[in-house]
Structure 1
């Protein structure tokens, strides 16, 4: 039996699972129960669990034919970021299939992967097929916030669920990108994420003397905070090429017919420019970054506040967490203290591993002319939570190239949509991988 992953994706989109952050959410329960019902009808016994009745994750272990082999985790999230309907061309939760696209919030992030995984499970049930090794499927809540109701909670409260699991696949990787080579030909690039920059969200605080606005004080919290933030905002972070980023740059430019000189800033910049669209992710992973995003101080124009605070979004490449924090302390200066809002260290998994090779093989069986490369994500996913259990995590939620040139659009933005053909092809790649690995 062939299950249409595109139709499934459209069905899943129609559940509004918006996550507003800080514990505010429409909840994932209804969608988790919908998926559980489909799986139970196919003969599976999924578990629904979570710290809140409305914030449920689904967990299912499919026994493999060779249970002595290390297990594999397949993880995807059920929640989505909110959508401002008035800005959209179509209703954000319509799940409409039109003009070769599946439309709606979550189409790309990441109800497509949920649908492809669910379709594979239903096909296995119909055919009697079983994977080679145990496959643990986890559809989690709360990825779009901190994971307190999803991955982070599961890892902290139920680590026994992951017994025997050695590797995981999840968000952001394995999707075809169409690039123009130097000779004018088209290259189909399939980047697989093997690393993620760390997410270090900081709250910084300056304390001073409060007083009347007409009478300047010696220790002004706002002035000290602004001085520190100015130094942070204008700091030029040095180039830090990790092995995975170097490999990504070298292999991609080679496929496009260019030679990358990675020994200088100018050489790296030229390589990134030569890569076109594929250079966008490289541009933010060749160095760390620190971006002030929120300011808080004062309550009245003629009152000097005694406290001023700011939030800074810090991202650091693998291996640079300690040096990044030390640099920030120096830039902020002694008058400013800091604390963590969120602290997720960078993660990295082996490129030269049987897992990466198996993903590559599945893509190549579908697309013999594919160019498969490793890459580092600029942001982060639930991989950071699962990595804390010693699981090697990879970004692999495959999508094939649309024959008419359509591409995924609108992730976290307006008019999110994904090509129907890409999802159907991605499900074939995923089925092949999960059946053979």
Structure 2
């Protein structure tokens, strides 16, 4: 079947297995970076490859001329989380186009929504504008990164640390997980990411006195750790509304004909349907125990026990999070960080917000647009270290009954073809306005 370039590019990227297992470099991050560099080179844009360790390859390119205005960063990652093929209806790296249960054709495969869809939108628009002699309204720095799915430490973080000069003059940026539509009472609402929670991946360790399992032992490392994990898992963090979420809830309240208050925040979030699973996590801090390890034999009390906890904390409330966590752990529990990344929140105003909003509404005039706080993390955390004002803006117009947020890292990940084409049109309009 004939397909547009944005679909072709996305399908080709999906077919490059860039699974990131969190340790050794995956099978295809360098191949994907070289592929992207080739697509840019075809239209006269040269890229710099950066590989801090073999196989973990990112690239940076500069597009357009200096116009006297600050430059814009547009970034996307090329790695994906692994996929167990036996769980899928299709080969997750075949890039199949087939019918979607929600109507129309979709492109299926790992990375279809996280985030080779946006990579493809960006590349197709850049290539089309280059061929047509339509440079962006301001100079654009393009960054395609490795290792985002493991925290970006060998991807965006190393770009920022090793090649900061590539981002000189950049004041604003856009990336993933924003600009997608949800449907509330029959009306589409596009969510632009304007904030991210901080990420604290923590290892808890307790130590005690080793001994025989048949004897009394009041210094049991496993018991001490289990009690701490139980307290953390059971803790109910209170609703705390950041400025971004106050704006979002006000927009939702307007759609449903009420007023937003802290007391009805959770009921307003329920209006998002399945997406409430993700958006609801932005009303409060979240701590989820995820791993436990201790001992080597049933009748031996071990000296040490460990647990891992995935903590996500709200911007502006870091001290509250860590002080409460220390109390929940109690005495005799050491906390170390596997990864500790700060949250960020960007004021939702200015010309770039106007450009994002108007580009969306030009394609979908009856819709509404509002900011939201992202519950997980993206490479934006690293680029904000350079003082870049960042947003998540990967526009997609989606079916009302599609559980889009459930597709992130999920089975049978897919993106509607018309959503890809919609996103490319919106991004093209945005580049004229920004």
Shorter-chain TM-score above 0.5 = yes
CA distance in 2, matches of 1:160, 1:401: 38
2:165 is matched with: 160
1:268 is matched with: 265
1:183 is matched with: none
Consecutive unaligned residues of structure 1, counting only runs of 5 or more, are 181-185
SS of residue matched to 1:25: coil
8 Å CA contact retained: 1:18, 1:79: yes
2:108 corresponds to 1:103: yes
2:376 corresponds to 1:379: yes
CA distance in 2, matches of 1:269, 1:41: 50
Q: Deviations over 1:347-392 (max 9, x none)?
A: 1111022211210011111111120000001111111011111111
- The Cα of 1:407 is off from its aligned counterpart by 6.7
2:431 is matched with: 434
CA distance in 2, matches of 1:349, 1:188: 23
Q: Which moved more, 1:407-416 or 1:117-126?
A: 407-416
- The Cα of 1:213 is off from its aligned counterpart by 1.0
Structure 1 residues 275 and 86 mapped into 2: Cα distance closer, same or farther (>3 Å)? closer
2:8 corresponds to 1:11: no
**1:199-278 map, 5 Å:** 199-255=199-255, 257-264=256-263, 267-278=264-275
8 Å CA contact retained: 1:245, 1:282: no
2:43 is matched with: 42
2:305 corresponds to 1:304: no
CA distance in 1, matches of 2:325, 2:190: 35
8 Å CA contact retained: 2:249, 2:260: no
CA distance in 2, matches of 1:52, 1:270: 47
TM-score between the two structures when normalised by the length of structure 2? 0.94
SS of residue matched to 1:273: helix
- The Cα of 1:65 is off from its aligned counterpart by 5.5
CA distance in 2, matches of 1:75, 1:149: 15
Structure 1 residues 282 and 96 mapped into 2: Cα distance closer, same or farther (>3 Å)? closer
Residue 126 of structure 2 is aligned with which of 110, 121, 124?
121
CA distance in 1, matches of 2:391, 2:72: 11
SS of residue matched to 1:47: strand
2:62 corresponds to 1:57: no
CA distance in 1, matches of 2:23, 2:72: 31
CA distance in 2, matches of 1:275, 1:87: 27
2:28 is matched with: 27
CA distance in 1, matches of 2:369, 2:97: 29
TM-score between the two structures when normalised by the length of structure 1? 0.94
Residue 136 of structure 1 is aligned with which of 134, 138, 141?
141
CA distance in 2, matches of 1:81, 1:226: 30
2:156 corresponds to 1:151: yes
Structure 1 residues 208 and 192 mapped into 2: Cα distance closer, same or farther (>3 Å)? same
**Number of equivalenced pairs:** 426
- The Cα of 1:4 is off from its aligned counterpart by 2.2
2:102 is matched with: none
- The Cα of 1:421 is off from its aligned counterpart by 0.1
- The Cα of 1:405 is off from its aligned counterpart by 6.7
- The Cα of 1:24 is off from its aligned counterpart by 4.1
- The Cα of 1:170 is off from its aligned counterpart by 0.5
The CA RMSD over aligned residues, in Å, is 1.7
2:394 corresponds to 1:397: yes
1:326 is matched with: 323
8 Å CA contact retained: 1:61, 1:137: yes
- The Cα of 1:323 is off from its aligned counterpart by 1.2
- The Cα of 1:280 is off from its aligned counterpart by 3.5
8 Å CA contact retained: 1:363, 1:429: yes
Structure 1 residues 6 and 407 mapped into 2: Cα distance closer, same or farther (>3 Å)? farther
Structure 1 residues 13 and 290 mapped into 2: Cα distance closer, same or farther (>3 Å)? same
CA distance in 1, matches of 2:271, 2:37: 46
8 Å CA contact retained: 2:108, 2:414: yes
